[in-house]
Amino acid sequence: MCKPQSEIPVLMLFDDGSDPDIKKHFLKLKEDYPDLANYLLVNTTEYPVVAKSFHLSEKSTLVATISGKEYWRHSGDFTIELVKRKIAVPETIC
């Protein structure tokens, strides 16, 4: 059964540091939209086990979760508008 969700999403950027612009873009998103999500930056070079647990195949990947359940993923460069549209809290998570 699906339950309504009112929690703030967690937006994680898994990044190996090879493209500093992606990290800057993520930090700008966090600064400009602090209430959009809880933000977490994971260095995949320092924490490869965490990256492996999310079955990542790309160097830079955004993952959005609520209550530990992934509901959106995007690899590579991104726009703020894309993130805002995609991580808006869904009405239900199954």
Give the predicted TM-score (pTM) of the model: 0.83
Contact residues for 93 (Cβ-Cβ < 8 A; gap 6+): 2, 3, 5, 66, 67, 69, 71
> Hey, what domains does the chain have and what are their CATH numbers?
3-93 (3.40.30.10)
Nearest in space to 65 (alpha carbons), one of 53, 79, 47: 53
Residue 67's pLDDT is 87
What is the distance between the alpha carbons of residues 21 and 93, in angstroms, rounded to a whole number?
Answer: 32
Segment-wise mean pLDDT, segments of 10 residues, the chain, 94 residues: 64 92 93 93 93 87 93 92 82 52
8 Å CB contact between 32 and 84: no
